[in-house]
Structure 1
């Protein structure tokens, strides 16, 4: 399966940025039906990516509301996070918040819209720099993406676009289940060094892959999702940021994204993988050489399995284009 996926990825495009650029342009020209179809498929995947990632964190709102807001962002349109109680969608906002055990009022309806819009904008920002402009990864790109994601969120401790300066602990649990013991994350004073080294390792891995012409996008994406989420550099938004990193790497080197968290079973499976991976991270940290770390392996297999549908879509679009 690994070799097949790599073959399909390489055949789809040596440079997925070319596909994205072409289908974006094609989506604005009625004369290019295949390009429109391809862009619509990619846009749908990006929307579902944002929705699923938000659902994992119990933020955002319904899929329908997410579609409307994300489409506006991805198409470069003006979008407002504000909503009035006379808006036709206002009731749907409140119903979702109520079902999610969040305060069902206008303030939280607006907050839920912000969580969607700014997530899409942060994703769009990283895609522009890494995929379309083909820039190297940098801490500045990651910090700016977090600033976009978290600006305006009502949280005095979390500074948008800045590494945390205080200790945090995380726990994974499902609503209604017995409280799980929280585990303390990496010390705040260690975060800058770990982030600096993570970015250096990432750019080194990419440079080596370019040099030798061999790259496994699923291992690459899983490895740096795993590293980032366990460094846990920000006070909040680490899960969403880790999935932005994962999916931008997939988009750049495999030509598609992986939609995670669209339903409760998916969320439970992903969280289980993340929990087990975190235990491995803390066991291997400072004991195992970076290239020999194994905490990302289960996630790599998971996203490869989930990617089959999107690989088939991209393959179908490209082969149809070749026949046309």
Structure 2
């Protein structure tokens, strides 16, 4: 996935900063202030580099962040593998310069890569092992496709992009009830199609209404559409991961950052407590809302917005720190 170092992140002041707490009691105003600091620091670091150097520095950092996004999302839905396997399989996908439109033709190129994940062959490789590897690979390819189309190419989040993303994500993976991917991949449930089409039109309007400096509004819009997508559940499977890809496509387009929801056990429990609003797997046992004691007044989309904001701040903090380290090293070497 190509990295566009020439596109500035959205940095400025929202017209209104709501004085309220997030799910874990942190101040929205405090998180917002840090988000502005982080995005400002990122922009300054990139401005200190040439375009080519900026791309060279960003690529490994961003590809690792996107691999973390895939890993966390998979953990929420109990699919995929561990962090080492996810990182190993995702890095070549996100750092590849190949067009995402050729994604179906790449399968054979990962045969050796997948085999290397199974070494040493001290145990028998089971169909479940192979499925987990496919879940990682196809999720990463789907993310690369959607983020490239929406962020780098500047396309609207159309029905075609959503269907192609789901088709890529489910490629070569049978459904839980044994249906082949050709029967459910990129296919709406008949009852959900009208609602999904309506929401896509509304999303286009809402995105157009976000000014480049309205970071909190962007987080709110992204979270709301993730929530709506989950309530519609347009596909027979994979709605959780699709909802979070939609969330991050909007965030990357409007804020210049992604949210790695489900980064640890506590956040995954919080996500399960929120339930449908964060696209939790319907097969998972829901955690009682009573287990979350901080700011119990936050529920559903409000709780999701809280978690998304916190995660975006964490992602930008990590990116700003990594860029400072890289630019510092480069300045030292130049001297």
Q: TM-score, normalised by structure 2?
A: 0.67
Q: Which residue of 1 aligns with 2:198?
A: 197
SS in structure 2 opposite 1:296? helix
Shift of 1:275: 4.4
Give, in whole Å, the separation in 1 of the partners of 2:81 and 2:225: 28
What is the aligned partner in structure 2 of residue 305 from structure 1? 310
Are 1:89 and 2:117 matched, yes or no?
yes
| Further displaced range: 314-323 or 194-203 | 314-323
Gaps of 5+ in 1: 27-31, 96-103, 166-188, 279-293
Instruction: State the partner residue of 2:135.
Output: 115
Unaligned 5+ segments in structure 2 are: 1-27, 99-105, 280-298
| Deviation for aligned residue 1:213 | 6.1
The answer as to whether partners of 1:81 and 1:114 remain within 8 angstroms in 2 is no
SS of the residue 1:148 aligns to: helix
SS in 2 for 1:307: helix
Mapped partners of 2:198, 2:122: distance in 1: 43
> Which aligned pairs between 1:211-250 and structure 2 lie closer than 5 A?
214=214, 216-250=217-251
From the superposition, tell whether residues 37 and 309 of structure 1 become closer, same or farther in structure 2 (CA, over 3 Å).
farther
Q: TM-score, normalised by structure 1?
A: 0.69
RMSD over equivalenced CA pairs, Å: 3.5
Q: Quick check: 1:130 aligned with 2:150?
A: yes
Distance 1:111 1:57 in 2: 14
Indicate whether 1:67 and 2:91 are aligned. Answer: no
The count of aligned residue pairs is: 262
> For 1:164, which of 175, 189, 199 is the aligned residue?
189
The answer on whether the counterparts of 1:74 and 1:124 sit within 8 Å (CA) in structure 2 is: yes
CA deviation vs aligned residue, 1:207-253 (integer Å, no higher than 9, x gap): 1224x964522111111110111100001000000010111111122
Cα displacement string for residues 26-73 of structure 1 (whole angstroms, at most 9, x for unaligned residues): 4xxxxx3x6544332211110011011111111111211111110011
Q: C-alpha distance in 1, partners of 2:68/2:38?
A: 21
Residues 53 and 240 in structure 1, CA contact (< 8 A), matched pair in contact too: yes
